[in-house]
Amino acid sequence: MRVIGIDPGLAACGWGVIEVDGPRLRHIANGTVRTGSGPIPARLLHLFEELRGVVDRQAPEAAAVEQTFVNRDGAGTLKLGQARGVAVLAVAQAGLTVGEYMPNLVKKTVVGAGHAAKQQVDHMVRMQLPGCAPDSADAADALAVALCHAFHLQTSTRLADAIAASK
């Protein structure tokens, strides 16, 4: 199963695709969509078109987007929320159910600590996906989101199988 993870951002939005085959995980692709400067509607459109292109080319079967945290800068949080909405729309329009994870849960799942530094996330992504070279910290975070979703999907599948077997 192919899983796409997205770390939303208006200036830089990371994406990463992994393949899950039982316990085996394999890096497929990653990248960063950069929107430059200019009017926000044009930047959001560019982000949407780029993410839709990634989804079309990579053909994921599952998707996850990191949830937005609220910070002190209300305007920045609003822009991040708009970019996140575009990311969710891009994968939902492809017919995918979207998993959503808080940044601390992603870090806890991949690194083992909910307040891990970006360098630790990058290191653990590279350890779990040998040969992958994220093109930015945003792409590494997106791969971490994909890994988190893959782990949670596997756990929920095992739980469902155990419940079905007990009946």
Q: What is the tens place of the pLDDT at every residue in 82-113?
A: 999 999 999 999 999 999 999 999 999 999 88
What pLDDT was estimated at residue 11? 94
Rounded CA gap, 120 and 111, in Å? Answer: 7
73 is a catalytic site residue: no
* Each residue's pLDDT tens digit, 14-44: 999 999 998 899 999 999 999 999 999 999 9
Rounded CA gap, 157 and 79, in Å? Answer: 35
What pLDDT was estimated at residue 154? 79
Return the structure tokens found at 62.
């599952």
What pLDDT was estimated at residue 49? 98
pLDDT at residue 160 tops 70: no
What pLDDT was estimated at residue 162? 64
Q: Say if strands 12-21 and 98-101 run parallel, antiparallel, or are unpaired.
A: unpaired
Return the structure tokens found at 77.
């949080």
- Residues annotated within the binding site are 7, 66, 138
pLDDT at residue 143 tops 90: yes
pLDDT at residue 123 tops 60: yes
Say which of 7, 50, 122, 141 is annotated catalytic. 7
Which of 79, 85, 92 is CA-nearest to residue 67? 85
Which of 77, 72, 32 is CA-nearest to residue 50? 32
- Residues annotated within the binding site for Mg(2+) are 7, 66, 138
Count CB neighbours of 144 within 10 A: 32
What pLDDT was estimated at residue 104? 93
3-state secondary structure of 74: helix
Torsion of CA 84, 19, 60, 47, to 10 degrees: 40
pTM of the model: 0.90
Say which of 50, 122, 138, 141 is annotated catalytic. 138
**Out of 3.40.50.720, 3.30.420.10, 3.40.630.30, 1.20.1250.20, which CATH number does the structure's domain 2-166 have?**
3.30.420.10
* Each residue's pLDDT tens digit, 41-54: 999 999 999 999 99
- Confidence class for position 161, pLDDT limits 50, 70, 90: low
Determine the residue type at 138: D
Return the structure tokens found at 117.
């530094």
State the DSSP H helix or E strand holding residue 15, giving kind and residue range, or none if neither: strand 12-21
What pLDDT was estimated at residue 74? 81
Which of 150, 144, 140 is CA-nearest to residue 14? 140
Say which of 50, 66, 122, 141 is annotated catalytic. 66
pLDDT at residue 1 tops 70: yes
Bridge partners of 26?
Answer: 19
Rounded CA gap, 149 and 155, in Å? Answer: 10
Contact (CB, 8 A) for 4 and 15: yes
7 is a catalytic site residue: yes
49 is a catalytic site residue: no
